[in-house]
Homo-oligomer: A and B are copies of this chain.
Amino acid sequence: MTKLNDNYTQLKDSYVFRQVNEKAAAFASEHPDLPIIKMGVGNTTRPLAPTVLDALHGAVDKLSDEATYTGYGDELGEAYLREALSGYYKNEYGVELTADEFVLSDGAKSDTANIAGLFAAGSTVAVQDPVYPVYVESNTVLGNRIVYLPCTEENNFVPTPPSEPVDIIYLCSPNNPTGTVATHEQLQALVDYALENGAVIIFDAAYSAFIRDDSLPRSIFEIDGAKQCAIEVGSFSKWAGFCGVRLAWTAISEELRVDGVSLLERWRRRQLVMFNGPSNISQAGGLAVLSEAGQRECAEIIDYYRANASIIRESLQAVGLTVYGGENSPYIWLKTPNNKPSWEFFDELLENTQVVTTPGVGFGSEGEGFIRVSAFASAETTKTAMQRIANQSS
């Protein structure tokens, strides 16, 4: 008689972004005359870079010719792209990792979720609160215990090391949802904790391309000792508009050992057993992102979103609201006026301005009283949304 994985019953309601979409869809069907502006899900909207488009077409063309057609590739991702990432880490971050220390996948969501399976069920996992729900839900399903590290205005939304022993620490910087970026010193304290306590850090760097302040670390491996305790997950989604194209990587140093076992080897094994590599078309696009022209063109698109983020910050501040993030990040963390509950303010904004945001409480209890505003809409749409909010507030 089949028995189910009971941990699924521990999951809360449905995924916050889905709830947001359902509320927005319900509003739209009730008010077909009121055009909605989506600033909820962190979904890219700009066309891909020309260099990347050429590469994607080129990859499709290759599949049209017997001489260049390829089927299954390397389950760990093509060597050419892992080599290119290795070069990128060296040039951009001064970090030495070999091509074999990168494993490619279809997305950072998949990786941050699946990698938890390398650890013993029942592990204690620290996450930031508020938190990207994937870390919590994937670990809940595995039967792990979640410990929340409060991220509040008081600590500028970057946690101090856990006060109790934990096995795994998820960190996301630039942070989703708060838009804040951890400094070298803050990350060093967390790396030092991990080294002293034998914990492993899973560092989600999906938004690193938004960091333009040279004093801020873009890779966990810029921190002393991180190679011995940290795993980094990176993504082409926000960097190059690949949210739909699907391509990401996980970087693990051969130096990272748990009980003498290489976590890199374990992760490679996991992917050999349960994955078959990302799409060959997507990987060709990824290589183009890493070219000189691709990096330049993608940086221009990031600049566009960064300009939106500035507009959002300034517009919201101009109407007297308190905001965080949005400087080296596409997310603005808005404190609701008069400590209104997140969903109440979400509903008000939807009702009065038709601007869809994401309720902070959907990311954890410390997110109550905040909403997340995304800078991924078009510049025009962003301005329209901010104008609506300004009109509503005046």
Residue numbers of A with Cβ under 8 A of B are 1-6, 8, 11, 14-15, 18, 41, 43-48, 50, 53, 56-57, 60, 63-66, 69-73, 106-107, 109-110, 113-114, 117-121, 123, 134, 137-138, 141, 143, 165, 167-168, 197-200, 237, 241, 243-246, 258-259, 261, 266, 269-270, 272-282, 376, 378
Q: Is the interface of A mostly helix, strand, loop or mixed?
A: loop
Which residue of B8, B47, B64, B73 is within 8 Å of A48 (Cβ)? B64
**A121 CB, nearest partner CB in chain B, Å:** 7
Which residue of B45, B119, B275 is within 8 Å of A5 (Cβ)? B119
Given A63-B245, A106-B106, A109-B275, 4 further pairs, Cβ under 8 A: A5-B117, A43-B72, A47-B64, A246-B277
Chain B hits for A53, CB < 8 A: 60, 63-64
Which residue of B66, B143, B266 is within 8 Å of A8 (Cβ)? B266
Q: Can you pick out 24 interface pairs between chain A and chain B where the beta carbons lie within 8 Å of each other?
A: A2-B199, A2-B200, A3-B167, A4-B259, A5-B119, A5-B121, A43-B71, A44-B71, A45-B71, A47-B66, A47-B69, A56-B281, A57-B57, A69-B241, A70-B244, A110-B274, A110-B275, A117-B141, A137-B273, A141-B274, A244-B279, A244-B280, A246-B276, A246-B277
Chain B hits for A65, CB < 8 A: 47
Which residue of B11, B45, B118 is within 8 Å of A4 (Cβ)? B118
Q: Which residue of B lies closest to A50 (CB)?
A: B64
Which residue of B5, B41, B119, B245 is within 8 Å of A2 (Cβ)? B119
**A393 CB, nearest partner CB in chain B, Å:** 29
- A73–B6 alpha-carbon span in the complex (Å): 29
Chain B hits for A278, CB < 8 A: 106, 246, 279
Chain B hits for A5, CB < 8 A: 117-121
Q: Which residue of B lies closest to A118 (CB)?
A: B5
- A213–B177 alpha-carbon span in the complex (Å): 55
Q: A165-B1, A378-B66 are in contact. Are A6 and B120 (CB under 8 A)?
A: yes
Q: Which residue of B lies closest to A11 (CB)?
A: B269
Q: Which residue of B lies closest to A21 (CB)?
A: B74
**A286 CB, nearest partner CB in chain B, Å:** 12
- A167–B2 alpha-carbon span in the complex (Å): 4
Q: Are B266 and A123 neighbours in the complex by a CB distance under 8 Å?
A: no
Which residue of B47, B165, B198, B274 is within 8 Å of A114 (Cβ)? B274
Q: A57-B57, A121-B121 are in contact. Are A48 and B72 (CB under 8 A)?
A: no
- A107–B258 alpha-carbon span in the complex (Å): 31
**A48 CB, nearest partner CB in chain B, Å:** 5
- A375–B279 alpha-carbon span in the complex (Å): 23
- A143–B3 alpha-carbon span in the complex (Å): 14
Q: A244-B280, A276-B106 are in contact. Are A56 and B47 (CB under 8 A)?
A: no
- A123–B5 alpha-carbon span in the complex (Å): 10
Which residue of B6, B8, B245, B272 is within 8 Å of A279 (Cβ)? B245
- A347–B3 alpha-carbon span in the complex (Å): 44
- A128–B118 alpha-carbon span in the complex (Å): 27
- A345–B114 alpha-carbon span in the complex (Å): 38
Q: A72-B244, A118-B5, A198-B2 are in contact. Are A113 and B280 (CB under 8 A)?
A: no
9 closest cross-chain pairs (CB), A and B: A71-B243, A244-B280, A113-B274, A3-B120, A1-B198, A43-B71, A137-B273, A44-B71, A2-B167
Q: Which residue of B lies closest to A166 (CB)?
A: B2
Chain B hits for A269, CB < 8 A: 8, 11
Q: Are A274 and B46 neighbours in the complex by a CB distance under 8 Å?
A: no
Q: Are A119 and B4 neighbours in the complex by a CB distance under 8 Å?
A: yes
